């Protein structure tokens, strides 16, 4: 049964795309720097509306100042906000980080949960963060991480018509074979930062130019 009745991209194309992406980007890992599980969660919270590079510039001092989930939970809010200020939205992010840290200490004994249900029940943790955490920390795949690049590329590749991340993930889960879920998002992010940025689509240099329904080469646009 075709699970994508209104979309152009077919399963065989997905296989071919993944092959090309794997060939180009190889083994991938989360670009955020961390050394403890709770630090990854905090880094992902900070990465909302911010580049991974910026987060990686901020977290060394942050993780040196607050070393445990309990220290984050009890941190002075103003000091925490100052340390994360340059990642943007620092009031909300500080609140999320402290809510997450409190929940981690009080409900989970300091151990980051390894399942979607418990993760998304924690303050500051949405499906995107939960997916990253489960994949990176536990090698478990329960969904597909949808960030701004994945969202944009998914539309261009005709894998979804939606703009809402939850709906996009639902479409991707139907379209992308489970064996590809772990790497798919990172491959999309790498592509979205290189030849298919929000500002410019460089189809001439894109490895998916022969497979992408939005390719300007293919469409002769």
**How far is the C-alpha of 36 from the C-alpha of 57, rounded, in Å?**
17
User: Catalytic one among 128, 142, 158, 171?
Assistant: 128
Q: Does 203 bind ligand SF4 (CB under 6 A)?
A: yes
**How far is the C-alpha of 166 from the C-alpha of 144, rounded, in Å?**
10
Interacting residues of 44 by C-beta distance below 8 A, sequence separation 6+: 32, 128, 129, 132, 133
- Residue 159 CB, shortest distance to ligand SF4, in Å, is 11
Secondary structure (3-state) at 204: helix
- Residue 201 CB, shortest distance to ligand SF4, in Å, is 4
To the query of whether residue 52 is one of the catalytic residues in this protein, the response is: no
Nearer to ligand SF4, 112 or 206 (CB): 206
Phi/psi zone of residue 135: left (φ > 0), alpha (ψ -120 to 50 degrees), beta? alpha
To the query of whether residue 200 is one of the catalytic residues in this protein, the response is: no
Q: Does 172 bind ligand SF4 (CB under 6 A)?
A: no
Q: Does 209 bind ligand SF4 (CB under 6 A)?
A: yes
**Binding track over 130-169 against ligand SF4, x by CB under 6 A:** --------------------------x-------------
- Residue 199 CB, shortest distance to ligand SF4, in Å, is 12
The answer to whether the CB of 181 falls within 8 A of the CB of 187 is no
Q: Is 144 exposed, middle or buried (0-12, 13-18, 19+ CB in 10 A)?
A: buried
User: Catalytic one among 52, 118, 147, 155?
Assistant: 147
Nearer to ligand SF4, 95 or 155 (CB): 155
Angle, CA of 18, 24 and 25, to the nearest 5°: 85
Task: Enter the tokens of residue 86.
Answer: 């340059």
- Residue 194 CB, shortest distance to ligand SF4, in Å, is 9
Catalytic (active-site) positions: 128, 147
Contact positions toward ligand SF4, by CB under 6 A?
Answer: 156, 195-196, 201-203, 206, 208-209, 212, 214-215
């Amino acid at each position: 049964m075709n699970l994508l009745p209104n979309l152009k991209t077919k399963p065989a194309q997905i296989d071919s795309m993944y092959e090309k992406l794997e060939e180009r980007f190889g083994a991938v890992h989360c670009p955020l720097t961390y050394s403890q599980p709770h630090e990854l969660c905090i880094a992902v919270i900070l990465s909302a509306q911010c580049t991974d590079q910026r987060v990686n510039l901020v977290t060394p001092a942050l993780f040196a100042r607050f070393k445990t989930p309990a220290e984050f939970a009890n941190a002075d809010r103003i000091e925490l906000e100052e340390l994360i200020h340059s990642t943007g939205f620092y009031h909300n992010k500080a609140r999320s980080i402290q809510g997450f840290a409190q929940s981690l200490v009080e409900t989970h004994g300091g151990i980051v949960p390894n399942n979607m249900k418990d993760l998304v029940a924690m303050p500051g943790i949405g499906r995107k963060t939960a997916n990253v955490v489960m994949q990176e920390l536990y090698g478990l795949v329960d969904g597909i991480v949808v960030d701004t690049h994945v969202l944009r590329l998914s539309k261009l590749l005709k894998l979804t018509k939606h703009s809402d991340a939850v709906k996009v993930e639902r479409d991707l889960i139907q379209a992308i074979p489970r064996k590809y879920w772990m790497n798919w998002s990172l491959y999309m992010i790498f592509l979205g930062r290189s030849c298919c940025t929000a500002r410019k689509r460089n189809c001439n240099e894109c490895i998916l130019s022969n497979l992408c329904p939005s390719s300007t080469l293919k469409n002769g646009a």
